[in-house]
């Protein structure tokens, strides 16, 4: 591939040219252009499967190769998995280049929320937030809100805790503090009550010396707005900034990046066609706004797709072109044309489940690996019929909707000891651990202890034993490695005796042992920094869907959860009006997001797509008679065929439909 200025470089600067060419190995022309453009704002419009992570990784390695201090490079994304993949790619490239970079002094590559933790641990004290603040998870936040609703003597039917939590989350993501909200013009009784709850919630967090997940974005922005010292520090902290999945940023993340990129060397990667998270505050307009924020921005579009066949891309391109709010691009495959999309209509969800189960058995019999097959659906409720069919047909599967590792009781209990050891104001953790594992301290005694009420002699004895345990853990936390501190918790608090020697609790003990393995990653950090990092990782990981890449089972998951994943075969179930697109999506903007979600579902497939729908479906307790999804009519008819298996299976004598 010829790039005009490279012959001049090769002639006049041969050693640097050789280094550049090593960095550019395996990149197409547009990817190379993105890597070499290092000064000024850059927008990379990256289609599905176009190698955006690879491009960012090579760009970071190239910057370091050209002499940029690794500590001056920042790269943020949305999941720990994406950050880890980027980190692994960068250090593999640097190793290949024989460039030694200390990970502790290297580029900051992490999630937005881990960046927020980093900023607040370093400089939060300038806004009155201690370094050892606790990070509350969703369960903690909802627990506080339930208590506040009860304390304010409110009807939980009128003020449902999940809704109140969602309102507070949305306000924080829009950078609206409790004080700001209280000053708004709307003075209806409901608004006043919401303002009181928000204020009480913030007061409770302050007493706990804790931040909730949304504070990890709000508080850094407030810090930079209010503290000139912090603002000056961070304006000069990172000279080159990279932002992945820019279409998924919310207002708080957008403003944070504006603060940190005052020098103008910011490269963002995004694709409006994959913007599917407006329901959790993401604003894809931030990507459209980029060229207005940075008028001199270079725009580079990555259109070569390395994942899907050309036929799959033609179908996806045809569908997404019906959206008006997007940046034009046309994905093209590096692979062959591929198989047509198969489309089958069944009578109801039970027949749909059985058909999909038999179809998968057929695929596996044709040497397709079960772990490379995924069944996508619009709502979690659809999984029931699929699971029943898979169990009948003995199809091994995994449903991506289970309890995450860091949300399991025994893991949360062990971590709560560490949280309380570092922050004795964390009464949520105290309530969790005071009788876990059981030691005879009930709710009444717990409330008396927390409220500093007089205790009877036998109560004092129980509390004294608990306090001795906590003191031993606190002492270890201030001087020992992370894994040693956790081992102290397991021994002194009674986890080992409660779980290890109880056959019924064997799985819980294995989870605790896994937590111990995680803790060993932080043994190199000085005390108590290792424990602080462990707690931060655990808190941030609870916000992500845990999906293991290597699995020998068929994967069942929603289209939303499938983003970022890929499979050889993708089966999309329930392509009916009212289901996909969802009946709650009524406005043009909402329907465009539903179409983007279908586009994401299509582009998860490498080789084959099968689509099913039913004439009637029992869902949410009612029988629904829906028309085929409007999105099916947007796929060119020549790209779709019926499914032979449906004709061969005696129990499926339903008509096929074509588009």
Q: Each residue of 223-263: pLDDT tens digit? A: 999 999 999 999 889 999 999 999 999 999 999 999 999 89
pLDDT at 510: 84
For the segment(s) 22-124+218-302, the CATH number from 3.10.620.30, 3.40.50.300, 3.40.190.150, 3.40.225.10 is 3.40.50.300
Task: Clarify whether 52 is annotated catalytic.
Answer: yes
* Structure confidence at residue 544 (pLDDT): 65
491 is catalytic: no
Please report the pLDDT score of residue 474 as a whole number. Answer: 96
Catalytic member of 55, 79, 274, 351: 274
Spatial separation of the C-alpha atoms in residues 397 and 551, rounded to whole Å: 9
Instruction: Give pLDDT, residue 104.
Output: 79
Question: Please, what's the largest Cα pairwise distance for the chain?
Answer: 88
Check whether 318 has a pLDDT greater than 60: yes
> Does 643 show up as a binding residue in the annotation?
no
| Confidence at residue 551, expressed as pLDDT on a 0 to 100 scale | 76
Specify whether 53 is catalytic: yes
Each residue's pLDDT tens digit, 339-390: 999 999 999 999 999 999 999 999 999 999 999 999 999 998 899 899 999 9
Specify the pLDDT at position 645.
37
Catalytic residue among 52, 89, 165, 419: 52
Average pLDDT over residues 508-516: 88
Residue 11 is a catalytic residue: no
Could you tell me if 289 and 257 are in contact, meaning their C-beta atoms sit under 8 angstroms apart?
no
Domain pair 135-207 / 316-403+547-641, same fold: no
| pLDDT reported for residue 43 | 97
Is 134 annotated to bind a ligand? Reply is: no
Q: List the end-to-end C-alpha distance of the chain, in Å, as a whole number.
A: 41
Catalytic annotation present for 604: yes
47 is in an annotated binding site: yes
* 3-class SS string, 135-168: ECCHHHHHHHHHHHHHHCCCCCCCCCHHHHHHHH
What three-state secondary structure class fits 304?
Answer: strand
| Burial classification of residue 455, based on how many CB atoms lie within 10 Å of its CB (0-12 exposed, 13-18 middle, 19 or more buried) | middle
Tokens coding 517: 């393995």
> Domain map of the chain by residue range?
22-124+218-302, 135-207, 316-403+547-641, 406-541
Q: What is the pLDDT of residue 20?
A: 60
Q: Which one from 212, 215, 244, 358 is the annotated catalytic residue?
A: 244
Which pLDDT score is estimated for 545?
60
The residue among 502 and 213 whose pLDDT is bigger is 213
Please give the C-alpha separations between residue 464 and each of 449, 460, 461, in angstroms, as whole numbers. 11, 6, 5
Per-residue confidence (pLDDT) for residue 13, from 0 to 100: 41
Do 178 and 214 contact (CB within 8 A), yes or no? no
Least confident among 313-317, 407-411, 451-455: 407-411
Q: Which of 137, 140, 215, 245 is catalytic?
A: 245
Q: For residue 653, what pLDDT is reported?
A: 42
Concerning whether 203 is annotated as a catalytic residue, the answer is: no
Q: Is 128 annotated as a binding residue?
A: no
Q: Is 46 annotated as a binding residue?
A: yes
Q: Does the annotation place 559 within a ligand binding site?
A: no
For the chain, what is the mean pLDDT?
90
CA distances from 539 to 405, 439, 499 (A): 11, 27, 23
CATH hierarchy code of domain 135-207: 1.10.10.160
Q: How confident is the model at residue 193, as a pLDDT?
A: 96
| Least trusted range by pLDDT, from 529-533, 548-552, 587-591, 606-610 | 548-552
Residue 513 has pLDDT above 80, yes or no: yes
Q: Which residues, at least 6 apart from 66, have a Cβ–Cβ distance to it below 8 Å?
A: 38
CATH topology of domain 406-541: PCRA; domain 4 (1.10.486)
Upstream peptide bond of 505 is cis (omega within 30 degrees of 0): no
**Residue 50 marked in a binding site:** yes
Query: pTM of the prediction?
Result: 0.88
Task: State mean pLDDT over 550-565.
Answer: 91
Q: Report, as an integer, the average pLDDT of 548-563.
A: 87
* 316-403+547-641: CATH number: 3.40.50.300
Question: Among 442-456, 519-533, 546-560, 643-657, which stretch is predicted with the lowest mean pLDDT?
Answer: 643-657
């Amino acid at each position: 591939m010829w790039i005009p200025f490279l012959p001049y470089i090769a002639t006049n600067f041969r050693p640097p040219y050789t280094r550049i060419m090593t960095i550019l190995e395996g990149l197409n022309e547009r990817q190379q252009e993105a890597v070499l453009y290092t000064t000024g704002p850059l927008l990379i419009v990256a289609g599905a499967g176009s190698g955006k992570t690879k491009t960012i990784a090579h760009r970071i390695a190239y910057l370091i190769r050209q002499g940029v201090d690794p500590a001056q490079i920042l790269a943020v994304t949305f999941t720990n998995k994406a950050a880890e993949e980027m980190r692994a790619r960068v250090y593999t490239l640097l190793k290949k280049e024989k460039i030694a970079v200390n990970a502790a002094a290297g580029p900051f590559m992490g999630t937005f929320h881990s960046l927020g933790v980093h900023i607040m641990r370093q400089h939060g004290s300038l806004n009155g937030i201690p370094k050892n603040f606790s990070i509350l998870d969703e369960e903690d936040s909802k627990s506080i809100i339930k208590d506040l609703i009860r304390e304010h003597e409110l009807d939980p039917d009128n003020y449902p805790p999940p809704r109140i939590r969602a309102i507070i989350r949305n306000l924080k993501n829009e950078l609206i503090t409790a004080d700001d909200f209280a000053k708004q013009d709307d003075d209806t009784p409901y608004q006043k009550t919401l303002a009181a709850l928000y204020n009480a919630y913030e007061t409770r967090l302050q007493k706990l010396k804790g931040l909730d997940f949304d504070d990890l974005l709000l508080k850094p922005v407030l810090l930079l707005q209010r503290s000139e010292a912090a603002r000056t520090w961070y304006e000069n902290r990172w000279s080159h900034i990279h932002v992945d999945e820019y279409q998924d940023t919310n207002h708080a993340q957008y403003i944070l990046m504006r603060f940190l990129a005052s020098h103008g060397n910011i490269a963002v990667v995004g694709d409006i066609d994959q913007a599917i998270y407006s329901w959790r505050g993401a604003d894809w307009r931030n990507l459209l706004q980029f060229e207005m924020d940075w008028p001199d921005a270079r725009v580079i579009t990555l259109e070569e797709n390395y994942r899907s066949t050309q036929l799959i891309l033609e179908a996806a391109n045809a569908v997404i072109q019906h959206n008006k709010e997007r940046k034009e691009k046309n994905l093209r495959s590096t692979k062959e044309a591929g198989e047509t999309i198969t489309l089958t209509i069944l009578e109801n969800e039970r027949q749909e489940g059985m058909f999909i189960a038999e179809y998968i058995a057929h695929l596996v019999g044709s040497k397709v690996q079960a772990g490379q097959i995924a069944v996508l659906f619009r709502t979690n409720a659809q999984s029931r019929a699929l699971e029943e069919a898979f169990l009948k047909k003995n199809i091994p599967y995994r449903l991506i909707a289970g309890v995450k590792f860091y949300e399991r009781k025994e893991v949360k209990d062990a971590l709560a000891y560490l949280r309380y050891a570092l922050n004795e104001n964390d009464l949520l953790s105290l309530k969790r651990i005071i009788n876990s594992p059981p030691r005879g301290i009930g709710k009444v005694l717990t409330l008396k202890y927390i409220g500093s009420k007089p205790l009877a002699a036998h109560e004092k004895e129980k509390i004294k034993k608990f306090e001795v345990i906590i003191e031993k853990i606190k002492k270890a936390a201030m001087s020992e490695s992370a894994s040693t501190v956790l081992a102290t918790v397991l021994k002194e608090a009674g986890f080992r005796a409660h779980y290890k020697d109880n056959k019924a609790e064997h799985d819980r003990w294995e989870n605790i042992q896994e937590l111990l393995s995680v803790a060993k990653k932080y043994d190199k950090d000085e005390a108590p920094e290792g424990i602080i990092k462990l707690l931060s990782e655990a808190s941030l990981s609870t916000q992500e869907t845990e999906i293991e890449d290597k699995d020998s089972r068929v994967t069942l998951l929603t289209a939303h959860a499938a983003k970022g994943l890929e499979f050889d075969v993708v089966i999309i179930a329930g392509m009916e009006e009212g289901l996909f697109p969802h009946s709650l999506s009524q406005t043009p903007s909402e329907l465009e997001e539903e179409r983007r979600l279908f586009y994401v579902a299509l582009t998860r497939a490498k080789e084959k797509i099968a689509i099913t729908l039913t004439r009637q479906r029992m869902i949410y307790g009612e029988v629904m008679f829906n028309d085929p999804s409007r999105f099916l009519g947007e796929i060119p008819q020549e790209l779709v065929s019926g499914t032979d298996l449906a004709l061969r299976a005696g129990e499926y004598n339903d008509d096929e439909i074509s588009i």
